[in-house]
Amino acid sequence: MTSQTIANTPTPDQIRRAPKVLLHDHLDGGLRPGTVVDLARETGYTNLPATDPDKLALWFHQAADSGSLERYLETFSHTVGVMQTRDALVRVAAECAENLAEDGVVYAEVRYAPEQHLEGGLTLEEVVEAVGEGFRQGERRARENGRRIRVGALLTAMRHAARALEIAELANRYRDRGVVGFDIAGAEAGYPPTRHLDAFEYLKRENNHFTIHAGEAFGLPSIWQALQWCGADRLGHGVRIIDDIHVRDDGTVELGRLAAYVRDKRIPLELCPSSNLQTGAAASYAEHPIGLLRRLHFRTTVNTDNRLMSHTSMSREFEHLVEAFGYTLDDMQWFSVNAMKSAFIPFDERLAMINDVVKPGYAELKSEWLFRQTPSTSGSVTPEG
C-alpha cells in the first residue's frame, strides 16, 4: 500500500468535509426530533408516541427497522402531522438546508408532496411558497456559518392518489422559483407509474424534468414502465436493476437488455443504501448492489432517502460504503460528480458546480497528506553545509 493509497482513504472528518451532492431526500423524512416535539406542542398534534426528543428519535429508528410496513408508514404520519402550517413548513425546510450544509452537502434536491400538507387550510401554492422560503432561509443561515449549499425542490405526487397532473402543473408554475422537477412516490405494487401518464406527457411537452420512484420494491417492470412508458429522467432508487444482471461463477457479468439500456443511456440511479437495507433490497452494506453497479460504471449516486427514519446522513452513508467496499476519496468524488451531472438545474450551472466546487473540494482533501506534521528532529540532526 502506497502513501497515496493511505492518503486517499477518507477519515470520518474528511467524509464530512467533502463536498457531497444529494438527489433523493424526503423533507418529511428528515425532521429533527426536537422540532417534531416543538411543532406538535405548537400545533396541538397529540398523537406522538413520545414527547422526549431522544426517546422519539429512538422510536422512529426502531419503527423504521421493525420490518413492519405499517409501523414504517406510521412514522410519516407523525412528521406530516406536524407539518400542516406555514410556520412549520418554513422551519422544517430551513432546518433541512442547515443540517445538510453542516454535513458537507453543497447541492441538494429535496422532495415533498404538497398534497399532504393541506389539512390546516393551506393551498398547494402556499405550501410550495412556505417550503421555498424555508430553503432560502436555511441557505442564508448556512452561509452565515461559513458553509454553502444550494437546495432545489422536487414536487411529489402520491401514486395512489389522483392529483399527479395537478402537482405537475404546480411544479411547472414554480420552476423558476426554486422548484427544479417532479416526482411520484408511494407504494409501487398495484400503483404503476403508467396511471399518471397524463402528468408525464404534460411535463415532457413543457420541457420539464422528472424522476420516478421505481425499482425499489416492485422490481424490473416498475423500472421498465418508468423509462419506456413514462420517460423518466432519473430512477428514484432503481436498485432492483440488479435483477437484470447475471454474474457468472467465473466473475464475468452479463447484462440483460433493460440493464444494458439503463447503463448505455446513462440513466441516473438514486441509490439509498441504508433505506434499501430497511426495505429488504439488500441484506448488508457489503452485499448492496451499489458495489457491482459502481464497478460496471452505471450512473450511480448515493442518497439518504429519509434521514430521520434511517438514522443517517450523507456522511454516514459514505462511511458505510468506505467500510464495506474500501472506497477512497476518488470514489466519493466519482459519486458526487455523477450526482451533479444528473441534477435538474441548467447544464452550465451543473458544470460550474463540478469544476468550481466539487472537484476543488476533493483535490484539497486529497492533498492533505502532504502537509501532515512530521516528528520533531530538534537537537538530533546536524545541519549540512
Q: Let me know how long the chain is.
A: 385
For residue 1, the model assigns a pLDDT of 43
* Contact (CB, 8 A) for 129 and 339: no
Summarize pLDDT for 150-201 with one digit per residue, the tens: 999 999 999 989 999 999 999 999 999 999 999 999 877 777 888 999 999 9
Sorting pLDDT into bands at 50, 70 and 90, what band is 8? Answer: confident
Residues in a beta bridge with 374: none
Domains delineated in the chain = 85-365 (3.20.20.140)
Long-range contacts of the stretch 325-330 (C-beta < 8 A, 24+)? 325/286, 325/290, 325/291, 325/294, 326/9, 327/10, 328/5, 328/8, 328/9, 328/10, 329/8, 329/9, 329/10, 329/14, 329/18, 329/362, 329/365, 329/366, 330/8, 330/362, 330/366
Q: Active-site residue 70, yes or no?
A: no
* Contact (CB, 8 A) for 329 and 319: no
- The answer to whether residue 382 scores a pLDDT higher than 80 is no
Catalytic residue among 216, 270, 317, 319: 216
Summarize pLDDT for 117-151 with one digit per residue, the tens: 999 999 999 999 999 999 999 999 999 999 999 99
8-state DSSP, 239 = G
Q: Which one, of 239, 261, 268, lies nearest residue 336 by Cα?
A: 268
Q: With residue 257 as reference, give the H or E element that holds it.
A: helix 257-264
- The answer to whether residue 60 scores a pLDDT higher than 70 is yes
Summarize pLDDT for 280-291 with one digit per residue, the tens: 888 899 999 999
